[in-house]
Amino acid sequence: MLEKKEKFNPPIVLAAEVYEHLERSGKDLGRTSLDILEKFFEILYYTSMRTEEAQLIQVTVSFFDPESTWAGNKPNAPLDSWSYTPFTEPKPFDVRTMVKIAKAADPWSSSVAVYFDDNLELKIYGLIDQTLHSQMFFNHETQTKYSSAGFFQAAVQGIGHIAVTDGATIVQVLRQKNLEDTFHDVFKKGQVNDLIKDKAEYFLERTKQFLNNRFYVLRIESFHSMIYGIWKETLSRILIQIRKYGHGGALLITAETKGLDINYPIIYNRLRDAIERSIYVNIELQVMQKVLEDEDGKITVNGLKGIREKENQKRQIDNELKGAIRFLASQSCVDGIVVLKDDLSSFGFGGVIQKVDPPQMVYLAKTATFNRSEQVDPKNLGTRHRSMMTFCHNNPGSLGIVISQDGDLRVMTKVEDKLVMWENIKMQKYFKAKILT
């Protein structure tokens, strides 16, 4: 471990961790030094404290060498890959300039290219486009993986909140004075994962009927993983979208609404139906791919036409899913709880717990599978948390999720006689992130 110059200086500590990661990765760092990275993260840290037109700064910065072979925008690269566009003259990399330029660099679709010159002074060299494709992959909106520009990427996501990634690797996440590089994968293992499988029963039964009608030789067990995966990805995408609004919010998935007032009750089944259609079209594509192959493993012209038509249908369903997810997520901006059924159809939004009376003690899980924990007094948490704890404790089988304005996310449910809560949840698709088991 590198010796930290200022133990409690967040950007300095973050710089040390990122420098260690780069050294371990075996990349040729050239003249990149710890001092340079300290200056880099100090500027970003203080940029995160500023506002522009009363809005917090959100921007992604790539530590990108404009003289590298990456900067040549290779002619054989895919048409939708990223490219680097330089400024006529480099701009100073300081807080004032970053605050201004952030408005021109939507963090979802572009990043700011920063590197150092011959005098080891950090400069803003230009912009990088087409980063939305990587964002779509990380956020479960496409299965295609895209490359990322630079040695690493640093995203300013809120006050004192900087997430550092290296392609598909989470390096570190700084939240004010806390560093995070480990995440609970509760959607993959443990009690939350088991609960989600129970809640996906509707889709298992519907898919079983679909197979009996269309492909009776196929067994439902062959598609369990896909069905659970689509349900979990859909939930992750809803939560990611809620967090992007920066408003905070609460999501409750339950079969029971007793003890809950819903100010805006609605019947919205489109997300549920789109998930069902997504499952079916994925099965159909798998079957077509297999059936239409000839003896050499090639697909006939007529077979290809059928597959293309089915792929076009799948794209429409994917777009329908995206729209339904954002429709529901936006309801979190109204005070109260967004309340969904187990099949992810909607009870409504603006939900309020009638009587807030949480258990005397809550257990904060230290692993995705609840086997180590520490006790937490609910009085030390906000009203949203206490309300959700009350409901989940009184209604076993319910899954409550609370997102704070600063992006912190906590998941809770009742395990036997205990109300258990998890934090630092893995939602995005970072393959090499350190995961707490």
> Could you tell me the two tokens for 54?
């009363």
CATH architecture observed for domain 10-180:
3-Layer(aba) Sandwich (3.40)
Type of residue at 158: G
Summarised one tens digit per residue, pLDDT across range 181-231 is 678 889 889 999 999 999 999 999 999 999 999 998 999 999 999 999 999
Per-residue pLDDT at 437: 42
Within 96-168, strands assigned E span 111-116, 122-128, 153-158, 161-166
Backbone angles phi, psi at 369, to 5 degrees: -90, 120
Per-residue pLDDT at 184: 82
Type of residue at 144: T
Per-residue pLDDT at 5: 46
CB 391, CB 353: distance < 8 Å? yes
CA distance linking residue 272 with residue 40, whole number of Å? 45
Summarised one tens digit per residue, pLDDT across range 329-347 is 999 999 999 999 999 999 9
Identify the residue whose tokens are 């050239």. 30
Q: Give the contacts of 115 (CB within 8 A, at least 6 positions apart).
A: 63, 64, 65, 66, 122, 123, 125
The 8-class DSSP code of residue 3 comes to P
| Fold exhibited by the domain 184-436 | YojJ-like (1 (3.40.1700)
CA distance linking residue 201 with residue 206, whole number of Å? 9
CB 19, CB 37: distance < 8 Å? yes
How many CB atoms sit inside 10 A of residue 156's CB? 25
Torsion (CA) 323, 328, 334, 337 in degrees, nearest 10:
-170
- 415 pairs with which residues across the strands? 418
- 365 pairs with which residues across the strands? 373
Low-confidence stretches of the chain (pLDDT < 50) are 1-6, 431-437
CA distance linking residue 393 with residue 337, whole number of Å? 16
Residue ranges of the chain assigned to CATH 3.40.1700.10: 184-436
Summarised one tens digit per residue, pLDDT across range 353-402 is 999 999 999 999 988 899 888 999 999 888 999 999 999 999 999 999 99
